Amino acid sequence: MRADLIYFMFLMIILTLATIEATYRKPPFNGSIFGKRNNVENDSSGRAIAALCEITTETCQAWYQALESQ
């Protein structure tokens, strides 16, 4: 019985290590050691959020004005 428990624990450790190794991935080498960084800043997400905020503000103002006038 004790040998079965030791075998089971050993098997669980091996399976855990195999799972950890399978999920590990090296980061891509993009030449950052030599200062070749490719940082392209796209402000499209900022513009989209600003547009959504503007639409929301206009809609809420119109809605509150309609509620107050009633």
Q: How far apart are CA 13 and CA 18, in angstroms?
A: 9
Residue with tokens 């004790």: 2
* Domain positions in the chain: 1-25
CA distance 27 to 23: 12
What type of residue sits at position 59?
T
In angstroms, rounded to a whole number, what is the distance separating the alpha carbons of residues 59 and 51?
12
Residue 37 has what pLDDT? 54
pLDDT in tens, 12-55: 887 777 666 556 666 666 665 665 555 555 566 778 888 888 98
Q: C-alpha angle with apex 19: 15 to 21, nearest 5 degrees?
A: 115
**Quick check: 69 pLDDT over 70?**
yes
